[in-house]
Amino acid sequence: MHVRVQNIKPKYMSESEISGSDIYLQNQIVFEKRKKYLLKANSGHGKSSILNFIYDCNKNYTGKIIFEGNEDDSIISVRIKKLSYVFQDFKLFPKLTLWENIKIKNNLTNFKTDQEILNLIDKLGLSEKKDQLVETLSLGQKQRTAIIRSLCQPFDFLLLDEPFSHLDERNIEILTTIIDKELEDQNAGFIMTTLNNEYLFKYDKILNL
């Protein structure tokens, strides 16, 4: 599946606010499967917005977003099979444990075995937190949990909204390796937003918002 974005403009932003954007108000931008895209911008310049538009959890825009090569037009089908999203605010359930937050996704998809999930938890130094309520975790621990959960489903694109903002260099390095392997295994790509950091990935294209 490719994602084709045409003449997109957030309704709540003026043309002057997005002038010079490599995406907004452009006739056509195509995000191709298997490629890695980095979207850079300052705060308030629509980084989260473009990912939310693609995921269809924010419809407050003009223009078109087309999923090419998707056999089912429904956004539910796209979310189940083609797109996985690490939200900037994580979207975790605070009254559930770390393990329950991950399993609630994997129980729907049956995509990974329990052992595969446990291995990811261990690699990211969260084993001792597995049965702890999410509301008691640090921001960095929540962020790692949200990323693990996002890998518990099939996808053509992984949407990452400032995914490493609360992590140290060591955890970023570990996650870069984990995500790269997952992309290779799934023959997938990602669209990632950031303020200024480019992190450790090798990008196919860097776009400025």
- Distance, in Å, from the CA atom of 99 to the CA atom of 199, rounded to the nearest integer, reads 27
Say yes or no to pLDDT of 168 above 80. Answer: yes
pLDDT per residue as tens digits for the range 125-143 = 999 999 999 999 999 999 9
| Non-local CB neighbours of 165 within 8 Å, separated by 6+ positions | 88, 143, 195
pLDDT given for residue 71 in this prediction: 67
Q: What is the mean pLDDT of residues 112-122?
A: 98
pLDDT given for residue 196 in this prediction: 77
- pLDDT over 70, % of the chain: 99
Say yes or no to pLDDT of 73 above 80. Answer: no
* pLDDT averaged over every residue in the chain: 95
Task: Please provide the distance, in angstroms rounded to a whole number, between the alpha carbons at the two ends of the chain.
Answer: 23
User: Per-residue confidence at 78, pLDDT binned at 50, 70, 90?
Assistant: very high
Task: Report strand pairing: 2-10 vs 61-68.
Answer: antiparallel
The pTM (predicted TM-score) of the whole model is 0.95
- Distance, in Å, from the CA atom of 152 to the CA atom of 44, rounded to the nearest integer, reads 30
pLDDT per residue as tens digits for the range 173-200 = 999 999 999 999 999 999 999 987 888 8
pLDDT given for residue 186 in this prediction: 98
Q: Which residue has the higher pLDDT, 199 or 9?
A: 9
Specify burial of residue 42 (Cβ count, 10 A radius: 0-12, 13-18, 19+).
exposed
**Two tokens, residue 121:** 């938890």
Q: What is the mean pLDDT of residues 20-49?
A: 92
pLDDT given for residue 143 in this prediction: 98
User: Per-residue confidence at 61, pLDDT binned at 50, 70, 90?
Assistant: very high
